[in-house]
């Protein structure tokens, strides 16, 4: 895969590793990449605009207000021009500003105004990188959809050793080559996905129903993450107040039967993710009129359709990759492993719903991702957008694993 004719907006910020940007520019130019640059005030302390312009052959942008170029709004035009935005070195301070959504100079306004992928290359002292504040910012930015190259483990300019060293120009170049390669392969494969989310309602009478506390936020974040990487995604939403997205095909349902019909209508697809909290039971006979409380002595229930089991076992139209969610209050891993096997899933997301600070109806989650071999990968309490990015990466890796050209 060639990088020829790719357009990269390179933002160079203030850090001792800024000088490596010049070597990276040379590498990219040798491969016919067109580069425009933004040099921050801090970056200018380490390298000069003249050295950058000499290598790129293009003007170096520095200020958000340019009296010599009043006809264009640089932070908009630059972000629209580029295929990607690459930022290096990313310091702890720069990460904080981005995680807070700051837009106080040309670099941050261009990033915030961008509709393209943003790739960050961190460089900082090991203690700064491992600090809880930096790690929280890292998770926040990944949740926003930002991608990271590195950091590496090694000896740093300060003389200390550990994680925080900036990736080398060659490593960054290889990442970019693979990034565009993966994107092209995904585009050619035309992968499709369906995701269920929200909480179903099983009516007792016209005004009462059985339901649960699921907000649908986790499934929604996964759908957005898949859509952003080029997967055609349909989201079946049950009784959720989530804002609709232009990036997704959204189908609204109420009951488990309606969700099941919507799922069948979308088949065949490559990926199915059952994140919805579907009622296990429904009322056997729904009353036509409102039941008076004195008349309600008991409810006769029957089992609902098992949508995940249907998708996992349906050999003819079975998606290539079936992912289920396992909401549990106890014996999380044991119960989830049983569900993985019994529902014939490729992956199960074990979801602890026993606490109020993560799980149902909040923005945070704590999950364990379990594959068919029983391998468990636990993710500590994190924003649901961050967890969605981890899951989406696993899905992409699944569909690219057999492509020899990816490396």
Active site (annotated) includes residue 345: no
Helix (H, G, I), strand (E, B) or coil at 29: helix
Name the DSSP class of 330. Answer: S
Degrees to nearest 5, angle at CA 221 with 215 and 224: 135
Cβ neighbour number for residue 352 with a 10 Å cutoff: 19
CB 176 within 8 A of CB 183: no
C-alpha distances (whole Å) from 3 to each of 31, 43, 54, 57, 196 are 6, 26, 21, 18, 37
DSSP for 131-179, written as a single string? SHHHHHHHHHHHHHT-EE--PEEEE-TTS-EEEEEPPPHHHHHHHHHHH
Could you give the CA distance from residue 22 to residue 326 in angstroms, rounded to a whole number?
49
Closest of 377, 372, 368 to residue 350, by C-alpha: 368
Query: Residues 225, 231: contact at Cβ < 8 Å?
Result: no
**Total Cβ atoms within 10 A of residue 365:** 24
Spot the catalytic one: 130, 158, 286, 296.
158
SS3 192: strand
Are 325 and 368 spatial neighbours (Cβ–Cβ below 8 Å)?
A: no
Q: How far apart are alpha carbons 194 and 19 in whole angstroms?
A: 45
Cβ neighbours of residue 234 closer than 8 Å, sequence gap 6 or more: 192, 193, 194, 195, 248, 249, 250, 251, 266, 269
Instruction: Go through the chain and tell me how many residues it has.
Output: 407
Give the rounded distance of the alpha carbon of 220 from its chain centre: 11
- Spatial contact of 326 and 338, defined as CB atoms under 8 Å apart: no
Which residues participate in catalysis according to the annotation? 158
């Amino acid at each position: 895969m060639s990088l020829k004719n790719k357009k990269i907006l390179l933002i160079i910020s203030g850090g001792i590793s800024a000088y490596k940007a010049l070597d990276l520019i040379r590498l990219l130019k040798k491969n016919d990449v067109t580069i425009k640059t933004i040099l921050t005030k801090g970056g200018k302390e380490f390298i000069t605009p003249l050295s950058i312009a000499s290598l790129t052959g293009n003007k170096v942008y520095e200020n958000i207000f340019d009296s010599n170029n009043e006809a264009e709004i640089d932070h908009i035009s630059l972000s629209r021009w580029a295929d990607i935005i690459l930022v290096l070195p990313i310091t702890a301070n720069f990460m904080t500003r981005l995680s807070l959504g700051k837009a106080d100079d040309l670099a941050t306004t261009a990033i915030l105004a961008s509709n393209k992928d943003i790739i960050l290359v961190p460089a900082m002292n090991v203690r700064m990188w491992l600090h809880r504040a930096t790690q929280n910012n890292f998770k926040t930015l990944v949740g926003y959809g930002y991608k990271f190259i590195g950091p590496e483990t090694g000896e740093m300019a300060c003389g200390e050793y550990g994680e925080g060293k900036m990736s080398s120009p060659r490593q960054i170049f290889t990442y970019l080559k693979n990034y565009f390669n993966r994107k092209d392969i995904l585009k050619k494969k035309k992968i499709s996905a369906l995701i269920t989310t929200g909480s179903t309602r099983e009516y007792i009478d016209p005004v009462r129903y059985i339901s649960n506390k699921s907000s649908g936020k986790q499934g929604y974040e996964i759908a957005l993450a898949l859509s952003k990487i080029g997967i055609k995604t349909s989201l079946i939403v049950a009784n959720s107040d989530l804002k609709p997205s232009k990036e997704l095909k959204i189908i609204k349902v109420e009951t488990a039967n309606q969700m099941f019909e919507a799922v069948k209508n979308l088949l065949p697809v490559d990926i199915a993710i059952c994140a919805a909290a579907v009622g296990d039971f429904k009322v056997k006979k729904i009353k036509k009129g409102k039941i008076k409380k004195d008349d309600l002595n008991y409810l006769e229930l029957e089992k609902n359709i098992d949508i995940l089991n249907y998708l996992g076992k349906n050999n003819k139209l079975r998606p290539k990759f079936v992912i289920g969610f396992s909401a549990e209050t106890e014996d999380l891993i044991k119960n989830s492993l049983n569900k993985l096997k019994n529902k014939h899933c490729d992956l199960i997301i074990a979801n602890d719903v026993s606490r109020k600070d993560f799980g149902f109806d909040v923005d945070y989650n704590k999950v364990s991702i379990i594959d068919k071999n029983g391998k468990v990968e636990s993710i500590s309490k994190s924003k649901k957008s961050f967890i969605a990015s981890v899951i989406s990466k696993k899905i992409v890796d699944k569909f690219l694993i057999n492509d020899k050209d990816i490396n």
